[in-house]
Structure 1
Amino acid sequence: MNYNLESIRQKMKESGIDAYLIPITDPHLGEYVPDHWRIIRWLTGFTGSAANVVITHNFAGLWTDSRYFIQAENQLKGSGFEMVKLKIPHTPEYIEWLVANLKEGSTIATDGRIIPVSIVRLMERSFTRKRIGLETDVDLISSLWKNRELMPREKAFEHHLKYAGLSRIEKITLIRSRMQEMGAAYHIITSLDDIAWLLNIRGGDVKFSPLLTAFAIIGMNDIFLFVNRIKIPDSLGKKLEDDDITIMQYEEVSNELGKLEKGKGIIINPGTTSATLYKSIPEGVDIIEEISIPTRMKAIKNDVEIENIRQVMIKDGLALTKFFYWLEKSLGKIKITEISAADKLLEFRTQQEGCVGPSFATIAGYNEHGASPHYCATPETDVELKPEGIFLLDSGGQYYGGTTDTTRTVCLGTPTQQQKTDFTLALKGTINLALAKFPLGTRGYQIEMLARKALWDHGMNYGHGTGHGVGYFLNVHEGPQTIGTAASGDMKTILEPGMLISDEPAIYREGEYGFRTENLVLCIKDKNTEYGQFLKFETVTLCYIDTSLIEHELISDEETKWLNDYHELVYNILSQMLPEEIKNWLKKKTQAI
């Protein structure tokens, strides 16, 4: 029995609540949160990064997407929670489910600190017909969660100008100019990565992402940073104050919002502003709802960032090359497991100058574990790698000069015909997206079919998006740009020069294996013709692709040329910095097909 679940139900009964909603996020509504806010993990055992939980008196469900179907099925066993698969035909989203299953006049409750005002509005509209009430000030968790992790107290540090490319003052000036154009006197920044980028500071509050837990309010003449003051070293605090940034306690943000001048405009992002914070804004303040200005600005890397990214990709490519060389030479001679392989890769990566750690939990999936897109080995699931089968490795590093994310799938023995077909069809998607040329003004969803066509032609598909934005010594998943379906992406955001995006088509066979080849691509200018400016992608990831898995009859001449050119580039750049024996090995791995 899940005693925490039953305790929540008892509290619901006492408070007259028919359903309780728990999002997976925190007051900043990001994908990556401190352990203090990992409520769903504490309650259900599910460790993924995307989920919503609904609890009624006779049902407990966890909604998640296809990246986590296999993982959730395993982790929810015995928890009292049922997995509900998102984006599957005839399966309702949690709001639809609530409307369909609750009686007229029921009451739904949630903690407004961790749910965006945009979702609250959607629920209120959906619940009107059945007169379902919604309470957004109900915290049923804090009193039940014993030994809850404290909020982190890691010190913040400066991200130096040689990496950032623009100073705080320059970024603030650009943002104020945009605020003026939008008729705003204030702009509240709630996303941790936006604040870190804006102020050129980083922290240690979130595992794998160098973030500082804080809010910020930008005015036309002042800036307030709301943060636990103990996290700001005196030297950094003085620099911030010299730049006219006032440091206030984290908890004071609502009070300060309440002091905003009526008749003035404030920019908020309803998708990243909590219902509780939104309520703090006084009536009479003109609310301008838009994506945060820093969100759009940081998505377009500046020239300094781009040059640093290219250098970081070389370092990351060296680490990956050394790892795969070690794996091939050591397999069958020493015991290697999924966990020890991930540890060895981290060892190679942190030997590179400027690497401070991984950018996410390494996905090292052997055989059937590779079929779970976000699999993370644990002591209970860890298996030994043998000189046979398929090994999928999705990993990344955090460097002062950028964030990396690379997936390679290698065959540890002799591939079957089915494996070669599957690998090649997915690889064709990676290549064809990399080859894309498109006019300025194109959205990611408009070119996604290039990545899926080869798979679709064979009646195959994958459930996750094809590409996500990547931060700069920030979150490995960053918006607003995506390459996904129209339903899952931001319909407004166009692809622009300077955007860094992943390119990761895949195919998964549950119980057997997964294939994914992921590169990071940089959007750059192509030709300017009488039809306008065209754009293309530059593949910046530098790591060989296992050609033993390629079915040559399925790959076109154009795709073959791309692969051979790519391998020539990988070898020419990396070989200069490799020991002779690894250099010779890489030469064979990158030889033309």
Structure 2
Amino acid sequence: MSTAKRVEKLRALMAEKGMDAYVVPTADFHQSEYVGEHFKARKFISGFSGSYGTAVITKDDGGLWTDGRYFFQATNELEGSGIRLMKMFVGDTPSVTEFLADVVPEGGTVGFDGRVMSMGEGEEFEEALTPKNIKINYSEDLIDEIWEDRPPLSEKPAFFLEEKYSGESTASKLARVREKMKEAGADIHIIASLDDTCWLLNVRGDDIEFFPLLLSYSIVTMDSVELYVDERKLNDQILAEFAKNNVHIHPYNDIYEDVKKLDPSLTAMIDPMKMNYALFKNIPCKTVEAANPEILMKAMKNPVELENIKEAHIKDGIAITKFMYWVKTRFDKEKITELSAADKLTSLRAAQDGYIRDSFEPLCAFADHAAMMHYSPSPESDVELKEGAFFLNDTGGGYYQGSTDITRTFVLGSVDQQMKKYFTAVVRAMMRLSRARFLYGCYGYNLDILARGPIWDLDLDFQCGTGHGVGYLGNVHEPPTGFRWYIVPSKNEHHQLEEGMVITDEPGIYEDGQFGIRIENEFIVRKGVQNKYGQFMYFETITFAPIDLDGIDPEEMSKDEREWLNNYHKDVYEKIGPHLTDEEREWLKEYTRAI
């Protein structure tokens, strides 16, 4: 069925239900950034496959709201659907709620499935629509009624993350969370976000492609945890650990009825950015709103996690270096496509001890495809690698020792001087942020200009954040901090940089229809010197893989910048070289040479 036909069927159902507009966000019941196949309703109704966006269908119009990462991709994928691209944060583009308040008649009805809308978003709808006497129907999943072959919910097994990986017991984590509950004056803590429950209970699953998380809800009391999950997924080890910590199992969907039975005299701590609107509406007791305490706790990795993560990055660096060698020495001798290259890289990661799965969908983009900031190849779009262009690879590995996220852009053959100028600017941008020294208390937006400076100097920009937190076998984009020059409340990234956070540094330049360049390393936030001026902080780089010298123009770099790159490449050779074949090591020596 074509996208236009799906929209037609939805409109017929909307008319039957008395709805003037229907909203379909990119979400599951847990406000996860990436969702399982069952929850890809926005892709189903719009045809847009990006990871971020909201579709709105009215009686005679349709819009898809997404940000600058996806403008080019969305334009292509929406063609023929009758759905317009609404460019978020650009010009006078209205927000979803502003659009609805303007086009839905007074007394009309806006519908959505309240389980896939966050509490905060639902309240924004109320605030925007109530003054116009527009009603909200949040109890109807219309997409489910027209999606005939909808994939079922995952039934894959969960696994326990032992303390040699997590670095902290469930009992210790529960004690810390309960202290935060006391401080907030809460008797119970309702958690709907998958990564927070999984971190708290030291469990992981396989319910979302690439993300090792378990579909679940939890209610933490002062002496127990009520966990809502498909019990068939839990093995004996997990059940034994749960028994030790007074964790009780309930059917996954029972949460909605069970919260209705909560004692109205209790006080529940909830996170409006991490709870769905339908669940919130079912809570009968008083609530206190605060960010889930697990968010900051899991972002500040403990010493065991940090040592594991550093080990994971060495394994990942070996795979990436072998991959770079293979691509650059074979692309002109055999047929290599975007998809076959992605498969090759996954196989190289899988050869590393402790590998579980890739940490997100590989973004392997050749030439003009790389201008689409988060392009991922498909059988329909797959192209062969050729000489004279860039090949961008934004990929990551999930290991028991942690998750990785790395981007390298390879030069295939040779490129012109302007492309080298841009490539060098991106490398300079990445290294400038990684070299930062700053006082404790800085936020990501205090430092973002360090990365954007070399790119802004060219009167260019990249329409996304510069970096994000990385979870430990959780969300690869992990709040509560990141690097961007403006604040996006929905990103939940408004927090100062804390010791132990693991964050990416990934500036880029993207020229529509031509090429894209991104270079990404990860680093750990560390404490430096403390003196009369305060506590200084710095970043410890933990990603080790060559930066393609074929794209570097040394004349565009300062002496200090060349020195940083030379020292970095010396570290790459020393850490990665011993794990390569003789041929690969000889090649690496050339690609980590001093410039």
Q: TM-score when scaled to structure 1?
A: 0.97
Q: Secondary structure at the match of 2:365?
A: strand
| Residues 67-216 of structure 1 mapped to structure 2, 5 A cutoff | 67-216=69-218
| Residues 395-414 of structure 1 mapped to structure 2, 5 A cutoff | 395-414=395-414
Question: What code does the residue aligned with 1:52 have?
Answer: T
Question: What code does the residue aligned with 1:405 have?
Answer: D
Q: Secondary structure at the match of 2:75?
A: helix
Q: What residue is the counterpart of 1:479 in the other structure?
A: 479
Q: Is it true that 1:353 corresponds to 2:366 in the alignment? A: no
| In 2, Cα distance between equivalents of 1:94 and 1:177 | 38
Query: 1:240-292 CA distances to partner (integer Å, 9 max, x unpaired)?
Result: 1222111111122123322333333211001111111011211xx33111111
Query: 1:52-86 CA distances to partner (integer Å, 9 max, x unpaired)?
Result: 01011110111111111122122222223222111
Query: 1:132-175 CA distances to partner (integer Å, 9 max, x unpaired)?
Result: 22222222122211011110101111111110100111111111
Query: 1:542-591 CA distances to partner (integer Å, 9 max, x unpaired)?
Result: 01101221222321222222111111111111112222221111111111
CA contact (8 A) 1:69 1:85 kept: yes
Q: What residue is the counterpart of 1:240 in the other structure?
A: 242
CA contact (8 A) 2:359 2:397 kept: yes
| Residues 215-226 of structure 1 mapped to structure 2, 5 A cutoff | 215-226=217-228
Query: CA shift at 1:491, angstroms?
Result: 6.3
| Residues 397-546 of structure 1 mapped to structure 2, 5 A cutoff | 397-488=397-488, 490=492, 492-546=494-548
| Residues 310-325 of structure 1 mapped to structure 2, 5 A cutoff | 310-325=310-325
Q: What residue is the counterpart of 1:336 in the other structure?
A: 336
Q: Secondary structure at the match of 1:142?
A: helix
Question: What code does the residue aligned with 2:57 have?
Answer: I
- Structure 1 stretch displaced more, 391-400 or 254-263: 254-263
CA contact (8 A) 1:107 1:133 kept: yes
Q: 2:255 pairs with 253, 256, 269, which one?
A: 253
Poorly superposed stretches of 4+, deviation over 4 Å: none
Question: What code does the residue aligned with 1:35 have?
Answer: E
Query: CA shift at 1:216, angstroms?
Result: 0.6
- Structure 1 stretch displaced more, 254-263 or 200-209: 254-263
CA contact (8 A) 1:443 1:491 kept: no
Q: What residue is the counterpart of 1:378 in the other structure?
A: 378
CA contact (8 A) 2:160 2:237 kept: no
Question: What code does the residue aligned with 1:69 have?
Answer: F
| In 2, Cα distance between equivalents of 1:491 and 1:75 | 29
Aligned residues: 591
Q: Secondary structure at the match of 2:198?
A: helix
Query: CA shift at 1:233, angstroms?
Result: 2.0
Query: 1:454-501 CA distances to partner (integer Å, 9 max, x unpaired)?
Result: 111221001010011111012211111111133325464111011011
Q: Secondary structure at the match of 2:471?
A: coil
Q: Is it true that 1:32 corresponds to 2:34 in the alignment? A: yes
- Structure 1 stretch displaced more, 352-361 or 237-246: 237-246
Q: Secondary structure at the match of 1:258?
A: helix
Query: 1:72-126 CA distances to partner (integer Å, 9 max, x unpaired)?
Result: 1222222232221111112122212222333333321111111011111112212
Q: 1:54 pairs with 29, 53, 56, which one?
A: 56
Against the structure 1 CA distance between its residues 358 and 492, is the aligned structure 2 distance closer, same or farther, given a 3 Å change threshold? closer
| In 2, Cα distance between equivalents of 1:188 and 1:246 | 14
| In 2, Cα distance between equivalents of 1:527 and 1:504 | 26
Q: Is it true that 1:572 corresponds to 2:574 in the alignment? A: yes
| In 1, Cα distance between equivalents of 2:283 and 2:172 | 28
| In 2, Cα distance between equivalents of 1:563 and 1:292 | 39
Q: What residue is the counterpart of 1:287 in the other structure?
A: 287
Q: TM-score when scaled to structure 2?
A: 0.97
Unaligned runs of 5+ in 1: none
Q: What residue is the counterpart of 1:562 in the other structure?
A: 564
| In 2, Cα distance between equivalents of 1:438 and 1:226 | 43
CA contact (8 A) 1:183 1:265 kept: yes
Query: CA shift at 1:209, angstroms?
Result: 0.6
Q: Is it true that 1:268 corresponds to 2:270 in the alignment? A: yes
| In 1, Cα distance between equivalents of 2:341 and 2:223 | 52
Q: What residue is the counterpart of 2:590 in the other structure?
A: 588
Q: What residue is the counterpart of 2:550 in the other structure?
A: 548
CA contact (8 A) 1:157 1:236 kept: yes
| In 2, Cα distance between equivalents of 1:83 and 1:71 | 10
| In 2, Cα distance between equivalents of 1:175 and 1:198 | 9
- Structure 1 stretch displaced more, 418-427 or 131-140: 131-140
| In 2, Cα distance between equivalents of 1:492 and 1:124 | 25
CA contact (8 A) 2:387 2:414 kept: no
Question: What code does the residue aligned with 1:260 have?
Answer: L
CA contact (8 A) 1:482 1:490 kept: no
| In 2, Cα distance between equivalents of 1:154 and 1:511 | 40
| In 2, Cα distance between equivalents of 1:510 and 1:58 | 31
Q: Secondary structure at the match of 2:336?
A: coil
Question: What code does the residue aligned with 1:85 have?
Answer: K
Query: CA shift at 1:427, angstroms?
Result: 1.6
Q: What residue is the counterpart of 2:65 in the other structure?
A: 63
CA contact (8 A) 2:156 2:206 kept: yes
| In 1, Cα distance between equivalents of 2:36 and 2:302 | 29
Q: What residue is the counterpart of 1:10 in the other structure?
A: 12
Q: Secondary structure at the match of 2:6?
A: helix
CA contact (8 A) 1:365 1:377 kept: yes
Q: Secondary structure at the match of 2:473?
A: coil
CA contact (8 A) 1:18 1:107 kept: yes
Q: Secondary structure at the match of 2:495?
A: coil
| In 2, Cα distance between equivalents of 1:88 and 1:252 | 42
Question: What code does the residue aligned with 1:386 have?
Answer: K
- Structure 1 stretch displaced more, 102-111 or 39-48: 102-111
| In 2, Cα distance between equivalents of 1:543 and 1:357 | 20
- Structure 1 stretch displaced more, 385-394 or 303-312: 385-394
CA contact (8 A) 1:176 1:220 kept: yes
| In 2, Cα distance between equivalents of 1:309 and 1:88 | 37
CA contact (8 A) 1:410 1:546 kept: yes
Question: What code does the residue aligned with 1:527 have?
Answer: V
